[in-house]
Amino acid sequence: MKHAWSAHDLRHYFASTCLLNGLPILAVSRWLGHASIMITADTYGHMTPDSMDRAVTVLDGIMGLAV
């Protein structure tokens, strides 16, 4: 059975993917248009990696700088 993606599904997928790959929660919050970072943190905070190294690795990979 084919799943019909709603706008909400795609928005949640976008936010989750960004955060699980180490992008800053403040940036994601702004992209989503949340009035406060607390809205984003309350919804997606459990997906925020603890390490800045992970964010650097992800961005290096995106830019083709990974070795």
pLDDT for the residue numbered 18: 93
- Residue 40's CB is within 10 A of a number of other CB atoms, namely 22
Dihedral over Cα of 29, 31, 33, 35: its sign: positive
More confident residue, 38 or 1: 38
pLDDT for the residue numbered 10: 92
Number of H helices, E strands in the chain: 4, 0
- Residue 29's CB is within 10 A of a number of other CB atoms, namely 20
The pTM of this model reads 0.66
pLDDT for the residue numbered 2: 73
Instruction: List the chain domain ranges.
Output: 7-62
Tens of pLDDT, residues 46-59 = 888 665 666 677 77
| Phi, psi of 18, rounded to the nearest 5 degrees | -60, -50
Tens of pLDDT, residues 9-32 = 999 999 999 998 888 999 999 999
